[in-house]
Amino acid sequence: MGMTTLLVETSEEMRQSFADLLEKSFETTLKPGTIVVGEVLKLEKDGMSVDIGGKSEGAVPMKEIPGCYGLDDLRAQYKPGQVLELFLLNQHDGVDETRPHYTLSVRRVAMWKNWDRLMELRDSREIVETTVSGTTKGGVIVNILGFKGFIPASQLRVAKTLHDLVGDVLPAKILEVDKHKNKLILSHREAVFEQKAKMRAETIGKLNEADIVEGEIVKITDFGVFVDINGIDGLLPLSEITWRRIQHPSEVLTLGERLTVRVLTVDRDLQRISLSLKRLQPDPWMTVNDHFKVGEVLNGRISKLLNSGVLAELAPGIEAYCAYDNSGRQYYLTETYCFRIVSIFAGERKITLEYQGAAQ
């Protein structure tokens, strides 16, 4: 489905003659927040006065008239007797109580109609074009049809930081529209998902477990990263990033980084794949007996505190266990201490240690 060109179509009512519209507006109850038809009575330096029927007059301030900044601009675009659609802002007391006065706007007519257009686009699930104008803590602000909309970070699918998106044009789908609350929420992720449907189907049909593929990191979470593999967001779990213990993917990976990874699983029904980065490197436990011996004294960096003891990293990907003793000794994360190897069980991925003192 192509991207929708955002043009507001002229309604059937607008195709009638202005005279008919004006006559019809005379029969309409005037209330703020509605569109009425009025006839220009007078052009003045601060705006124009209009007759909106029902023995009612209105004033259109200059700030509510697009492209007009003075009387000359006003005269170039409008003339007495001209009939316009106007948005009724509010009613105020006039000198003549028998002839109510209103404040109106030319500028807000198109905006009010565009709310209806936005609802149509939401219901049709069409893809629209937006421009990122700013960021918030939870996502980005985008411009669309003269309004400001919000795309939550969870609805973005880009290999950029929020700040780097400012100025970019993003396809999106409208999720929620509420003109009374001035609320407009969109999804970039859903638009991209639809646009790449064909590519995704082709990719999932060719992928197999153990394949080596390349992709770009498009999202970083606490539990892992998502890598775009030709249209499919494959999950690279935290535990499959490196043989070492890390607390967060951002310790070793960055958004937008290109990776070569191994495919672990392929779910064609759900179009999901899981990936591994660490399995492209040798498992350090396979050669642990070649590098460590029982009785050896060496330094270890504390990588995790447990209820019964600590884990100390002896080499990248190799952690050993040291139980607490009766001395009440305190260990601190990332600090290095000296240990003696008590036992090695490579098949069980287990090494036990005994505390020896300060790091050597």
Tokens of 100: 């109510």
Q: Does residue 313 contact residue 303 with C-beta atoms inside 8 Å?
A: yes
Q: Give the CB-side neighbour count of residue 288, counting CA atoms within 13 A.
A: 23
Give the H/E segment covering residue 197.
helix 197-206
Residues with Cβ < 8 Å from 167, sequence gap 6 or more?
Answer: 131, 132
Orientation angle between helical segments 197-206 and 188-195, nearest 10 degrees: 60
Of the candidates 126, 124, 123, 170, which has an alpha carbon nearest to the alpha carbon of residue 149?
170
Beta-carbon contacts of 58 under 8 Å, excluding residues fewer than 6 positions away, are: 38, 49, 50, 51, 52, 86, 88, 101, 102, 103, 104
Determine the pLDDT at residue 100.
58
Is the C-alpha dihedral spanning 73, 100, 55, 22 positive or negative? positive
pLDDT at 210: 95
pTM confidence score? 0.62
Q: Which amino acid is located at 165 in the chain?
A: L
> Strand 101-105 to strand 169-178: parallel, antiparallel, or no bridges (unpaired)?
unpaired
The SS3 assignment for 82 reads: coil
3 state SS of 31: coil
What does the alpha-carbon distance between residue 292 and residue 357 come to, in Å, rounded to a whole number?
19
d(CA 3, CA 116): 18
Q: What is the pLDDT of residue 13?
A: 47
Separation of alpha carbons 171 and 144, rounded Å: 11
SS3 252: coil
Residue numbers in the chain where pLDDT is lower than 70:
1-29, 54-55, 92-100
Taken in order of first residue, the domains within the chain and their CATH numbers are 13-110 (2.40.50.140), 125-193 (2.40.50.140), 196-280 (2.40.50.140), 288-358 (2.40.50.140)
Q: Which amino acid is at 173?
A: K
CB 296 within 8 A of CB 227: no
Question: 260 near 213, Cβ under 8 Å?
Answer: yes
